[in-house]
Amino acid sequence: MISENLEKALNAQIRIEAESSQVYLSMACWAESKGLEGVAGFMYDHSDEERVHMLKLVKYVNERGGTVKISDLKAPDTDFGSLQKMLQQLYEHELFVSKSINDLVRITLEENDYATHNFLQWYVAEQLEEEALARSVLDKINMIGDDKGGLYLFDRDIQQLTGESIASNTGA
Ligand code: FEO
């Protein structure tokens, strides 16, 4: 069994992953409305990944005999201003998720719950990849600035990016 405290913290993370999926879905819609098909595809995929992150946690809590609480979600923004601002927000959001995962890991150590500690290592590794990916696309768009040709190529190429390819590019 997991402790009440840890169950609460895992449920909070389930909500964060679900909200991340909604934020990225909203970013995908915004990008699509601006004609940025590649960016939209990238964000739709990212939204799906966050749902997978959420489901993994749901199944783990159930497996450990805990109670999952599926809660209401905060509505995401619908206007992201510019592609630069949106990708900055994506990067900052991933930093926030990483901090939340680190807090969870700390609780497992405080409670000597090594099974959950072990389970969470997948998230620790995933966050490293996601941070590297978000930082990489942000660096690229900052380099491109207002250059229309650069933006066209960025939109064409971004959908091919995966965590693996970025990790190998950055050595992460
Ligand atoms: Fe599930 Fe991108 O954090």
**Residue 77 phi, psi (nearest 5):** -60, 160
Structural contact between residues 11 and 61, judged by C-beta atoms closer than 8 angstroms: yes
Residues whose beta carbon lies within 6 Å of some atom of ligand 1: 17, 20, 50, 53, 94, 97, 130
Which amino acid is residue 46, in one-letter code? H
Domain 4-170: CATH class, spelled out? mainly alpha
Among the atoms of ligand 1, which is closest to the Cα of residue 130?
2
Read off the pLDDT of residues 110-168 as tens digits, 9 standing for 90 and up. Answer: 999 999 999 999 999 999 999 999 999 999 999 999 899 999 999 999 977 754 444 44
Residue 149 CA to ligand 1 center (angstroms) comes to: 31
| Residue 103 neighbours by CB distance under 10 Å | 12
pTM, two decimal places:
0.92
Conformational region of residue 66, where left means phi above 0, alpha means psi within -120 to 50, and beta covers everything else: beta
pLDDT at position 159 is 76
